[in-house]
Amino acid sequence: MTTADRFLTRPRVLATGGLTTLRRQPLLVVLAVMVVAFQLSTDSFLDPANLGGIATDAATLAIVAVPLALLVISGYLDLSVGSTFALGGLVAGWLATNGHTPAVAVLGALAAGAAVGVVNGVLCCHLGLSPFIVTLGMLTAIRGLAQQLFPLPLSGFGSGFAWLGGARIAGIAAPVVVAALVLIAGALFLALTPTGRHVFAIGVNREAAHLSGINIRRTPFALFVATGAAAALAGTIKASVLDSVVAGTSGSGFELAVLTAVLIGGVALTGGSGSILGVLLGVLFLGGLQNGLTLLSVPTFWQQMAQGTALVAGAALAYFAPRPGR
């Protein structure tokens, strides 16, 4: 087992390296087959420029997928991230166009996203309302709020703000660096902190966790806040890349894309199981699929069909595959 594996998978006593990892992450095989197939049919899939493009696209997905995956593992769900994504980009863009520094713009977006998370968290964790209903309602409500606050498209954010989406750090695009940091933080959190273990416990059996003296509200509440802030950050990065943001369309459908990546990555919607390595593979699979099909000039609706089919096929495979450790 390599050090990276140890950080990315849940700490379990694995027999030995590669084979076990493959059995636990069949998506790795699927991903490899997909890469080979796209490279053979397009010849340009593995070009550094194209891989960089995939990574940048996948970055916004990954930034939100990590906290969302943790939230789902703890037995909750957040569908409102698509609208929070838009709200974050709009708040940051508005602050940038009104003469504030990029740092203030980013902080403003994070605060707006966290505020959405606080509302979700209070309603779901403290009042015990259904997370599906609450966050579905918030998805619509926040979209409406964003359009009310920012009826006109925003653009022209200035070179400082553009740095966030366009800069290269040691040759790697800034969004990819941010996504990598989020992935590593998520994996370390799950593996090495007590609260990381509590996330699983709460997702598997909330009553037993409560009777074990674990605070069953605080941790999911914090994850709602983190998911909201991450969605706003992803929206800010997207606004920086495009140098424009539109309240009506920004991030629409993003909530489903992130959730698809999380579920393809093997996180159980019923809570209690999943890994950050799986989330990474899910994000790469979805990003790679989209990119490869675009290179092959496959029309958008076929691409959507492919994504949807991949999710259902993944669920079916997980159902029929022998479950390790059960």
Partner 1 sequence: MTTNLRIRGLTKSFGGVKALDGVDLTVPAGQVHALLGHNGAGKSTLIKCLGGAFPPDSGTIEIGDRSYTRLTPRESITAGAAIIYQSLSVVDALTVAENVFLGQEWTRHGRVDRRVQEEAAAGLLERVAASCSPRDRVGDLPTGQRQLVEIAKALSRSASVLVLDEPTAALSGAESDALAERVEDLRAQGLAIVYVTHLLSEVERLADAVTVMRDGRVTHHSSVAGLSRNELVEAIAGRRHDATTRSGPARTAGRPRLTVDGLYGPGFGPVSLTVGEGERVGLFGLIGSGRTRLLETLFGRRRGQGGTIRVGELTVNPTRPAQALAAGIALVPADRRAQALFPSLTAQDNVLLPSIRTLSRAGVRALGVERRVFGSLAESVGLRPARPGLPAGAFSGGNQQKLVLGRWINEARDVEVLLLDEPTQGVDVGARQEIYRVVTGLADERGTAVLFASSDPEEVVALADRCLIVAGGRIVGELSGPDLTEQTLLSAVHEPDSRPAQGAA
Residue 168: phi, psi to the nearest 5?
-120, 130
Q: How far is the CB of 120 from partner 1 (least distance, A)?
A: 24
Q: Which is nearer to partner 1, 148 or 207 (CB)?
A: 207
- With contact defined as beta carbons under 8 Å apart, do 223 and 70 qualify? yes
Residues engaged in binding partner 1 (CB under 8 A) = 11-13, 191-198, 200-201, 204-205, 207-215, 272-273, 325-326
**The one-letter amino acid at 153:** P
* DSSP 8-state class, residue 154: E
Rounded to a whole number of angstroms, the minimum distance from the CB of residue 274 to partner 1 is: 11
Report how far residue 9's alpha carbon sits from residue 223's, in angstroms, rounded to the nearest whole number.
Answer: 19
Q: Which is nearer to partner 1, 146 or 201 (CB)?
A: 201
Residue 7 CB, shortest distance to partner 1, in Å, is 13
Minimum distance between the CB of residue 256 and partner 1, rounded to whole angstroms? 27
Q: Which is nearer to partner 1, 23 or 100 (CB)?
A: 23
* Spatial CA neighbour of 75 closest among 322, 269, 320: 269
The answer to whether residues 86 and 235 touch, using CB atoms and an 8 Å cutoff, is yes
Strand (E) or helix (H) holding 155 = strand 154-155
In whole angstroms, how close is the CB of 316 to partner 1 at the nearest point?
20
Q: Which is nearer to partner 1, 8 or 95 (CB)?
A: 8
Do the Cβ atoms of 283 and 121 come closer than 8 Å? no
CA angle 195, 199, 200 (to 5 degrees): 125
Alpha helix positions (H), the chain: 3-8, 17-24, 27-42, 48-73, 81-97, 102-121, 131-149, 159-166, 174-192, 194-204, 206-211, 218-242, 254-264, 276-295, 300-320
Nearer of residues 133 and 208 to partner 1, judged by Cβ: 208
Task: List the one residue out of 185, 259, 196 whose CA is nearest residue 10.
Answer: 196
> Based on CB atoms, which residue is closest to partner 1, 167 or 211?
211
How near is the Cβ of 42 to partner 1 at its closest, in Å? 41
- Residue 140 vs 212, nearer CB to partner 1: 212
Q: How far is the CB of 223 from partner 1 (least distance, A)?
A: 17
